[in-house]
Structure 1
Amino acid sequence: MSNAAPEVDTLVSSWLTVPDVAEALGVDVVKVRSLIKDRALLAARRGERNVLSVPAAFVLDGAVVKGLPGLITVLGDAGFDDDEALRWLFTPDDSLPGTPVQALRENRGTEVKRRAQALAL
């Protein structure tokens, strides 16, 4: 977790604070911090007050988007830090189409994971 790079802040249109993520997932703040620590979710510090925030797109229907934790692991194995992973997840890819996170939200995780695995080669 780091301070959000300016380009990441531009790519990610909506962020949730840790308490907001906890409410959306129906868990406590400690669980959300654990998900971030375990890299099941990515977060960045944002704004003047350095508030820990998670992209809102990572939460869907009261749960972490299906396939996201595994994809974060694949990106980490490919050498991506949190900012690079966030940048990759939210950068439009014409071959998908859309962004990798949109594809995950639309249950097209296999395509996204395949692209992420190719990055490690």
Structure 2
Amino acid sequence: MSAIPIADDVLDPAVEVLTLREVADRVGRPVSRVQQALRDHQLIAVRRRGELLVPAIFLTDNDEVVKGLPGTITLLVDSGYSPSEILRWLFTADESLPGTPIEALRGDRGREVKRRAQALAF
């Protein structure tokens, strides 16, 4: 079993985060499935005070992973970006979106986010 990739805690302290148990409860899956989602680059976690945490914004109001997030993360991982770089990019404002890439994904603007992610790869 491979190790769970963990990003540096580059998040603003105000960003709401969830424990792996909380994510599992919200999506209705065991914690082991959340851990596998992290290994499969479907989600990204940070370590804070010794605990793995996932940004709450990665889940929808319907308790699902935001559509387009796993594909965007995978695209950037395949392009050589580290989990920390990906997390930083997802939470950095982009005037042309407008807002951050994660907000755009939540707002159903996934195509535009993926275009920008693909452009970063080159």
**Structure 2 length-normalised TM:** 0.90
Report if the CA contact (8 A) 2:7-2:87 is conserved.
Answer: no
Report if the CA contact (8 A) 1:11-1:90 is conserved.
Answer: no
The structural deviation recorded for 1:77 is 1.9
The structural deviation recorded for 1:3 is 5.5
In structure 2, stretches of 5+ residues that fail to align are none
Report if the CA contact (8 A) 2:7-2:83 is conserved.
Answer: no
Query: Hey, what does 1:81 align to over in structure 2?
Result: 82
Query: Hey, what does 1:28 align to over in structure 2?
Result: 30
CA distance in structure 2 between the partners assigned to 1:3 and 1:36 by the alignment: 11
In structure 1, stretches of 5+ residues that fail to align are none
Residues 69 and 89 of structure 1: is their aligned pair in 2 closer, same or farther, counting only changes over 3 Å?
same
CA distance in structure 1 between the partners assigned to 2:87 and 2:27 by the alignment: 20
RMSD of aligned residue pairs (Cα, Å): 1.4
The answer on 1:56 being equivalent to 2:37 is no
Larger proportion of helix? 1
Q: Deviations over 1:27-52 (max 9, x none)?
A: 111111110111111111112xx100
Report if the CA contact (8 A) 1:12-1:55 is conserved.
Answer: no
CA distance in structure 1 between the partners assigned to 2:106 and 2:47 by the alignment: 24
The answer on 1:106 being equivalent to 2:111 is no
CA distance in structure 2 between the partners assigned to 1:3 and 1:108 by the alignment: 25
CA distance in structure 2 between the partners assigned to 1:26 and 1:15 by the alignment: 18
**Structure 1 length-normalised TM:** 0.91
CA distance in structure 2 between the partners assigned to 1:111 and 1:12 by the alignment: 26
Aligned length: 117
Give secondary structure in 1 for the equivalent of 2:99. coil
Q: Which runs of 4+ in 1 moved over 4 A?
A: none
CA distance in structure 2 between the partners assigned to 1:92 and 1:11 by the alignment: 16
